[in-house]
Each structure stands twice: as structure tokens, then as C-alpha cells.
Amino acid sequence: MALVEVQTVATPAVPRIKPIIRDVLVESRPNIPIKFNAISHLAYVNRPTVLTMKDLGLPEDLGISPVAVSQPFPLFTEEAIRIMRTEVFTKEVWDNCLQSTAFAKCQIRGHCPKYAPFMYNAWTDPKTLSIISDIAGIDLIPMIDIDIGNLNISVEDEGHDKDRVVNQSDDDVPITNWHYDSYPFVCVVMMSDASKMVGGETALRNGSGEIIKVRGPQMGSAVILQGRCISHQALAALGGGERITMITSFRPRDPMVRDTSVLTSIRPISNPSDLYFQWAQYRLEVLRARLAVMLQELEEQHRAQRPTDVSRIKQFLQLQEEWIAATNKEIVVV
């Protein structure tokens, strides 16, 4: 099956969706911790086909990897998805982690690791990270804890006309505006049975301004996107009842790699205290690692009695000034 089809996205219309009913939630998750096991809980088989930046007609150095987006690929087993759902469909998670904005009516955020240790372990497992990194074409680690396993939840309106749903296939109904993500890479996993869903693709804009559509994943499957530097939008999925996607964001493991992360779309849907602790922690850790690398390089150069590379020092310091300024700018005190 072809990965992409080139189409023009039709005039926006708003699908009728509503948040899932809170009454179905249990009080708290069963007190039986289940350990994530890469052998039994990962369903990954082969590296999926990817579209590169070059395939999209975008500059190859626009982002941090030549890979733009992957075809959907199996990542987690059904059992793993079931356990993750058990962790998050509790009253304590919904009381503490529900975010509702005009952009997304029903998001569950910040539940990892406190309320969802299995989900947290699944995303931080070395085997999971090696799969994501291999497909993304660069060594990646999860962004910050608050953006591990973010859930976007929608349920079709009960009054939805079934015929209209079936006939929806030729309509492209955006559920987000065209945007760039705040973080370098994102991995989207389907948490619902998507076998009867129509739509649900991700639309990308290529270098010529054409729209490329990448089909949505099935349950347990994932799509990886370099969303920080590719303009994209999510298209509505209809006909499947509930639709829950789990989104984890990633950044480069190597602290010396460029990282243009911002908090634009994250700030309105996050607890400021948690967000700014995690943001400052990650930014300072990266800075500390960069300083250590630069210091070692300088000292080795000096011990070897080589001339000091002044322009390298100045370039490094300039980049770190920009890093600190960007870090500070994203922390907004209201």
C-alpha cells in the first residue's frame, strides 16, 4: 500500500465530538504494579518505510535528522495498550491530569510516572528508545516527563448519523490548525480500535506547498514525525466511536545537537510549577553537559600544547548565550 497520497485538504468543518463519560472511571488503578517487559510488550517487527526531508522537498538540514515521518508500524502489543488504559482510566488521573482547552477538549497530561508507571517505563525502556531512534534516524530520548504519554481523547457524538460517517471518507476535516510542534520529534500511538475509522491521517505540507497525507496508525501502532520543522495538521477520524491517541515527545540524546524546543503549545495545557521545573532541569542539564564537553576539549588542547581555538570558544559561548536566553524566554510569569 502506498504510504502517501497527494490531495488538497477540503474546507474545514468541525466534527461533533465530546469527551468520554467520566462515570466509567474506576477510583484508582489496581494496586498490582505490572513491570514493562520489552520482550512481551513490544510488537515491533521491521523498520517501517519513512519519508525523508528530501522526499518532501525540504532542506535536508532543516531539522536534526534526514527523516521527516514514518509509515505506521506496530510498537506496543494489545496487552501493553490494555495495561496503559487501566492506568489512566481512573478517577484520580482524571481529577488531577485532565486539561480542556479550545485546541483540545479532552487531554490527559502529566500522569507519568506518578499515576502510570507502566506507561512511563514503556516509553523510557532502552529497547523502545532504540526502536524510536532507529526509525527517526537520530538517537532520541523522551523530552520531559510531562510530555510522556499525553492522551488526546475524543468520542463521537451519539447522535452522529452513521451514513454521514461512512460517507465522510472523501472529506478531510482538520481537527488542528496547520502548525509546527514545540518539540523536535513526536511519536503518536493509537490506543483505540481504529479498524472501522475513516480518516485520522496526518497532513503534511511539502516544500512545494502540496499536501501529503500519511495514514493514521491502528491500535498499538505508531507514527513518528519530526514535527518541530514540518508544517502539519491532524485530520479527523470518524466511524470508530472513541478515539484515543497517546503522544510522546522526544529530543536528541546528544547534548551538543541543535535543539530549538519551545513551550508555545505546551504552556496553556500544563501545570506551571511542574512544567517549569522539568523545563529548567532539562535545559540546565544540557547546558552542564555542553560545558563539560567544551571544558574537556579546551584542556586537552592546552595539554597538547596546541594553540587555543579562540573562534571555537567564541562560537560555543554565543550558542550557549542563545540557549540560556531561549530557556528564560519560555518561562512566562503571569
Of 216 and 227, which CB lies nearer to Fe ion in the complex structure?
A: 227
C-beta of 265: minimal distance to Fe ion in Å?
8
- In sign, the C-alpha dihedral spanning 315, 320, 325, 329 is positive
DSSP 94: H
C-beta of 186: minimal distance to Fe ion in Å?
6
Of 115 and 250, which CB lies nearer to Fe ion in the complex structure?
A: 250
Unique residue bearing C-alpha cell 454521514:
164
Of 131 and 204, which CB lies nearer to Fe ion in the complex structure?
A: 204
Of 75 and 230, which CB lies nearer to Fe ion in the complex structure?
A: 230
Of 181 and 330, which CB lies nearer to Fe ion in the complex structure?
A: 181
C-beta of 226: minimal distance to Fe ion in Å?
11
C-beta of 202: minimal distance to Fe ion in Å?
8
Q: For the residues of 241-256, what is the DSSP string, one character each? A: SEEEEEEEEEEESSTT
- Residue 27 near residue 90 (C-beta atoms within 8 A): yes
227 touches Fe ion (CB under 5 A): yes
- For the record, the C-alpha cell of 163 comes out as 451514513
C-beta of 214: minimal distance to Fe ion in Å?
12
CA gap 235, 216 in Å, rounded: 9
Of 168 and 226, which CB lies nearer to Fe ion in the complex structure?
A: 226
Part in contact with Fe ion (CB under 5 A); list of ranges 157-165, 173-181, 269-277, 292-300: 173-181
Part in contact with Fe ion (CB under 5 A); list of ranges 42-50, 179-187, 190-198, 241-249: 179-187
- For the record, the C-alpha cell of 217 comes out as 496508525
Instruction: Please identify the residue of the shown chain whose CB is closest to the bound Fe ion.
Output: 181
Other CB atoms within 10 Å distance of the CB of residue 121: 19
- Size, binding site for Fe ion by CB under 5 A: 2
Residues 77-96 that bind Fe ion (CB under 5 A): none
C-beta of 184: minimal distance to Fe ion in Å?
12
- Residue 34 near residue 83 (C-beta atoms within 8 A): yes
Residue 190 makes CB contacts below 8 A (sequence gap 6+) with 216, 217, 218, 219, 220, 221, 222, 244, 245, 246
Unique residue bearing C-alpha cell 488542528:
176
Nearest CA to 93 among 103, 104, 82, 85?
85
DSSP 49: P
C-beta of 76: minimal distance to Fe ion in Å?
21
Part in contact with Fe ion (CB under 5 A); list of ranges 142-150, 174-182, 215-223, 236-244: 174-182
C-beta of 146: minimal distance to Fe ion in Å?
16
- Residue 320 near residue 292 (C-beta atoms within 8 A): no
Nearest CA to 232 among 199, 203, 262, 265?
203
Part in contact with Fe ion (CB under 5 A); list of ranges 52-60, 83-91, 153-161, 227-235: 227-235
Unique residue bearing C-alpha cell 461512512:
166
Of 29 and 232, which CB lies nearer to Fe ion in the complex structure?
A: 232
Residues 181-220 that bind Fe ion (CB under 5 A): 181
Of 83 and 222, which CB lies nearer to Fe ion in the complex structure?
A: 222
Interface with Fe ion (CB under 5 A): 181, 227
